[in-house]
Amino acid sequence: MKASTNTSDVTGILYARKQTTIYNLNDQGDFVASTSRALGPESAWYYNQLKEVNFGENSDAAYYHVATNEWVKRDINIIAPQPTQKLPGQVDNYFDSDAKVITVKNNVKAPVYDSYGDKTGKFVDPNTAWRTDQLYVIGTGFPVELAAHRIGINEWLSTEDTNVTARF
C-alpha cells in the first residue's frame, strides 16, 4: 500500500539538538537518507513546509523542508515550535532545552543579551560555567539573528560564545 501524504505550507525555525540526518525526496515520493549531508548539532534552521506521511497501521512520519530537496524527519532531536509566533517588531521562540550547563568558550568574553536580543553591556568571563534551562531563537530567516541560552532573568548567552557541557 502506497503511503498517503499531506503537505502544509508552514514556516518557522527548527532547532537540531544533535547531528541530524537529512533526507532527499526521490522521484517515487520516498524519503531517502542522504549519505553526504546532515544538520549540525545545536543548529537552527528555517523551514517552509511540513510533509506528513501516513504508512497505515499507526505508522507515520513528518518531515520539515529545510533546503532544496532536503528534509529533516521530526523526532525527539528536533525542536520546532509551530507555527512561528510573530510579535510586533519581533519574532521569538522560547523552548525548554536539554542543555543544562553551558561553558563560555576559551578566550571569549561573552556579551550578555536581553530577551529582545540586545546586548546589556554586561559580559561573562571565558571558561565560566552557567546553568541554563531555556533556548531562545530570534529571527525570521536563515541564519537566525540570535540563538541563546538563558542564564538568569532576562539574561542570555549566545550559542556562538558557548559550548554545552552537561545535559540531563
Q: Is the dihedral of CA 120, 122, 124, 126 positive or negative?
A: positive
Span 28-32, average pLDDT: 86
Q: What is the pLDDT of residue 2?
A: 60
Domain range summary for the chain, segments of one domain joined by +: 4-79, 86-167
Q: What is the pLDDT of residue 83?
A: 45
pLDDT digits (tens, 9 = 90+) for 119-142: 999 999 999 988 887 888 776 555
Q: What is the pLDDT of residue 93?
A: 55
83 or 99: which leads in pLDDT = 99
> In angstroms, what is the C-alpha Rg of the chain?
18
Which CATH number is correct for 4-79, 2.60.40, 2.40.30, 3.30.70, 2.30.30?
2.30.30
The 10 Å Cβ neighbour count of residue 136 is 20
- Is pTM beyond 0.75? Reply is no
Cis peptide before 143 (omega within 30 of 0): yes
Alpha carbons within 13 angstroms on the beta-carbon side of residue 131 total: 4
Does the pLDDT at position 61 exceed 50? yes
The phi, psi pair for 99, rounded to 5°, reads: -75, 125
Q: What is the pLDDT of residue 52?
A: 86
